[in-house]
Amino acid sequence: MSGLSETQRAGCNKILNSMSKGDLLSLSDTVTNKLIVVENVAEARETILSFTKHAEELLKRKKVNRDLIFKYLAKEGVVMPPNSEKHQLVKRTLELWSSGKAVVDESIPGQTDETRQRPTTGTVSTEVKAEVGFDPLVLGQQFCQWFFQLLNSHNPSLGQPPQDWGPQHFWPDVKLRLVSRADNEQMEDFLGAELVSLRLIALTREEHLILSPNMQPHGLRTLASPHGLVLVAVAGTIHRHKACLGIFEQIFGLIRSPMENNSWKIKSVNLKIRGQDALGGTETVAPALSYNSTELQLLCS
């Protein structure tokens, strides 16, 4: 997940909210090296926040100009001399966020109470409780955000520090089925945390792919079984450098580990990749899931 605290994320989001659409889309291109295509301002904001390693980096971007920061501080009740330079405003904003006095309760579009309250660092693990009000969809959203950011951080072309990937995120007997279809269909099966972890990381580290999940309702579906298994199904696009290579659908089976603070670990992964040639000219922007609830239930049982 991004390196922003909840306070910094809310503050950055307010500043991004006051930017023009053109500047937002341009900033999204800059932050992702044009590797992720966004469809609208909401996606641009989310992408910028996800790819920002720390708050100072975002505040120092050219598109986040002096006036934007000055107005943000004024709205937060921080009065600065009108002739303050940008670096002074940046410093004051970071101080405000670290003091905890900034207002963070402004809703970020697409967030629910549960996602807003969670810390944005560490693994997805222990933040979602399975008591009353447990929402598998919230878990699915958090998990996908965490998983794909972690996986993509190992792609050398993004120039990000690689995050903590490894077999520790999987159950020892995890299964991976990888089906890829370009000219012909290939199927690979892997068993065990070490092998599954190595095969998945090879997608980004060696093959230089970027997996961009579609977190819209038609791209993400979750299902919880009475026995504690939660299925998270997500569709998305696959990129290499500036080219969109095709689409993917990925189904994760997640089960809590009582030995590790009840954190969620991956029990199964089913990944289908379809290259552009195999798509026959269908639209690849924000792909939808082809699995329905009945098919997911069969996988759950």
Q: If you write DSSP's letter for every residue of 61-105 in order, what string do you get?
A: STTS-HHHHHHHHHHTT----TT--HHHHHHHHHHHHHHT-S---
Query: Alpha helix (H) ranges present in 100-239?
Result: 113-117, 136-152, 193-205
45, two tokens: 């904001």
Q: Residue 116 has what pLDDT?
A: 36
In 3-state terms, what secondary structure has residue 51?
helix
List pLDDT tens digits, range 28-44: 988 888 877 888 888 89
Residue 177 to residue 251: CA distance in whole angstroms: 10
Residue 14 to residue 17: CA distance in whole angstroms: 5
Please say whether the beta carbons of 196 and 293 come within 8 A. Answer: no
Q: What is the CATH T-level fold of the domain 122-300, as seen in this structure?
A: Nuclear Transport Factor 2; Chain: A, (3.10.450)
Q: Residue 94 has what pLDDT?
A: 93
pTM of the model: 0.54
Count the residues in the chain.
301
The residue with greater pLDDT, 239 or 35, is 239
Residue 216 to residue 220: CA distance in whole angstroms: 6
Domain ranges for the chain, please list them.
6-104, 122-300
Whether pLDDT at 221 is above 70: yes
List pLDDT tens digits, range 250-282: 999 999 887 777 788 999 999 999 887 655 544
Name the one residue in this structure whose structure tokens are 């945390």.
Answer: 193
- Write the CB contacts of 84 (distance below 8 Å, at least 6 apart in sequence): 66, 70, 92
Q: Residue 253 has what pLDDT?
A: 92
Beta bridge partners of 190: 176
